[in-house]
Amino acid sequence: MSSSAMHVATTGLNAQQIKMQVIANNLANVNTNGFKRDRANFETLLYQVLRSGGAQTGDGTMLTSSATQGNLVATENSMDLAIDGQGFFQVLLPDGRMGYTRNGSFSRDAEGTLTTASGYVVQPEIQIPEGATEINVGANGVVSVLVGGQAEPQEVGQLTLVDFINPRGLQPIGESFAVETPASGGPIEGNPFEGGFGKVTQGFLEGSNVNVVQQLVDMIETQRAYEVSSKSITAVDEMMRYVSNNL
């Protein structure tokens, strides 16, 4: 009985340690654009502690993860774009997969192609012509530029967004990117401001949705729970020592 109690307390320690790691990761990314906080969910016993969105949890059921929109932060940079509402930007990753992100901190490569800060090409591909003095992105995703010597702006592309039947099923892979999983379903593409998609806001970035105060409260709560489990192990050890010395 005492041995079983010690194993249960150990499980509690492992659970609170994993929760603390999740909280630490959230706080470390409080200033990461488009970052979505993680949350540790535990069952009766912590049989498995690290599972990605889309992982199998039973016959015909898959794990999901939560995500809410962060605050929009003004940057006054014409290449910074935020989605106000539903949807994700599409980015072609180096391994050929399509990555989905809410981080619209974009720039241009040497050929004028619209890319992420890491140099990954935004999809559909948009070319900014040489000599463009002004770049405008409408709420509907239409990209137009003003080239020196021209009186009227010219349209150079259309940004599209994608959404998923279950966006919570997307699997985060780092750098604010997520990829499709069986739980998320396939991407549904459309223009911003149409068909339920959010609008594109130029000169803004979506901040992290991490609430620092709530994370600190959770950290204190986790620390106290860890201490309780530790005291349980100490109590069981003293009980077993007493029995051993008095038999």
| pLDDT tens sequence across 172-223 | 888 889 999 999 999 999 999 998 999 999 999 998 888 888 898 988 988 8
Q: What is the mean pLDDT of residues 223-237?
A: 85
Same domain for 121 and 174, yes or no, is yes
Q: What is the pLDDT of residues 89-124, one digit of tens each?
A: 999 999 999 999 999 999 999 999 999 988 999 999
Integer CA distances (angstroms), 212 to 29, 81, 199, 208, in order = 10, 24, 27, 10
Same domain for 192 and 76, yes or no, is yes
Same domain for 190 and 214, yes or no, is no
Domain count, the chain: 2
The answer to whether residues 88 and 100 touch, using CB atoms and an 8 Å cutoff, is yes
pLDDT for 44 beyond 70: no
Confidence label for 64 from pLDDT (cuts 50, 70 and 90): low
Same domain for 79 and 187, yes or no, is yes
For 140, the token pair is 């509907």
Separation between Cα atoms, residue 81 and residue 28, nearest integer Å: 23
Same domain for 234 and 195, yes or no, is no
Give Cβ neighbours of residue 229 (< 8 Å, ≥ 6 apart): 9, 10, 12, 13, 16
Same domain for 236 and 127, yes or no, is no
- Residue 29 structural domain: 2-63+210-246
Q: Which of 113-117, 151-155, 226-230, 234-238 ranks highest by mean pLDDT? A: 113-117
Q: What is the mean pLDDT of residues 76-101?
A: 94
pLDDT for 104: 93
Strand partners, 95: none
Same domain for 51 and 32, yes or no, is yes
Same domain for 127 and 170, yes or no, is yes
For residue 25, the number of C-alpha atoms closer than 13 Å in the C-beta half-sphere is 13
DSSP letter string over 54-123? T-EEETTEE---------EEE---TTEEEEESS-BEEEE-TTSPEEEES-EEEEE-TT-BEEETT-PBEE
pLDDT for 197: 94
Same domain for 150 and 91, yes or no, is yes
Q: What is the pLDDT of residues 121-149, one digit of tens each?
A: 999 999 999 888 899 999 999 999 998 77
Same domain for 89 and 195, yes or no, is yes
